[in-house]
Structure 1
Amino acid sequence: MSAVVLRGGCRCAALAIEATLDRPASAYTPRACDCSFCRERDAAWLSDSNGVLRLVQRDDADALHCRQGSGQADFIACAHCGTLMMVACEMDGRLYAAVNAHVFPGAQFAPEQPASPQHLSPEAKRERWRQLWFAEVCVETTG
């Protein structure tokens, strides 16, 4: 099967995102984290350990980075409209990430499933991320 490319972005178009998946979108079940941070921002995390994730920003100032929970990962949102785009963590010199499935308008995923990562130890979170998240991640600035 050939790769599936999804394109999306934030509400104001300051940030664009592209996910290359190795299966059809309907084969993916976004994980709806039950923490207050993710619930308040309407986040459901999509990842593909065999896929590629690319975030494009006009300027470094377009993306806000913050840490929540265990403080190990960067949540990246648009500095202008507040759309939560992705979460990323550098481990062993490699950037791993998951993307908010809601930034892909019209994409047809499997129904979201609840997830409770706050119940995992910091080490268990990192191991889970290594297994599930995109392992090929690129952040580009065009301006």
Structure 2
Amino acid sequence: MLIDGACHCGNIRFALAWNGEADSIAARACDCSFCIKHGGVWTAQAGASLRLRLREPDRVSRYAFGTHTADFLVCARCGAVPAVVSRIDERLYAVVNVNAFENIEPASIQRAPSSLDGESERARLARRQRNWIGEVEIVEGA
């Protein structure tokens, strides 16, 4: 199934090729201060593929904090954060914000709280390699 999503103004868009039907999507509501302030509720599927399109790449900020091992893609026009990317061993991994979905019934999203406090950097990167979307393409321009 193809899941479309975007920031509020459409500058950052994504197409997520989800394996199988998306009738129940597990989503992680992170309790870090950034995710709380920006409405970050994340999902990924290890076998999925993601195509991110940055219409105006100069209006996309990459924000890294904490371990500086991931970049939150923040639209400088509307302020929304539809995706996070992390480069691990020369491969790009990603999660997407379910609040940016455009063609999914909200009732199909199973939100659960999540806390990553105390997770070591090594464990964090290993978790991303196991659970995040491992086929990621970023296209810049219209």
Runs of 4+ with deviation above 6 angstroms: none
Aligned to 2:4: 7
Aligned to 2:125: 126
Q: Distance in 2 between matches of 1:83 and 1:18?
A: 17
- Report sequence identity in percent: 30
The two structures have a TM-score, normalised by structure 1, of: 0.92
Measured after TM superposition, the shift of residue 71 of structure 1 is 1.4
The two structures have a TM-score, normalised by structure 2, of: 0.92
1:33-72 superposed Cα distances (whole Å, 9 cap, x missing partner): 0111101111111101100111101222121101022211
Aligned to 1:82: 79
3-state SS of the aligned residue for 1:30? strand
CA RMSD of aligned residues (A): 1.3
Q: Distance in 2 between matches of 1:36 and 1:67?
A: 13
Structure 1 stretches of 5 or more lacking a match?
none
Letter in 2 for 1:72: T
Measured after TM superposition, the shift of residue 106 of structure 1 is 4.7
Q: Which moved more, 1:21-30 or 1:81-90?
A: 21-30
Aligned to 1:103: 100
Letter in 2 for 1:11: H
Structure 2 stretches of 5 or more lacking a match?
none
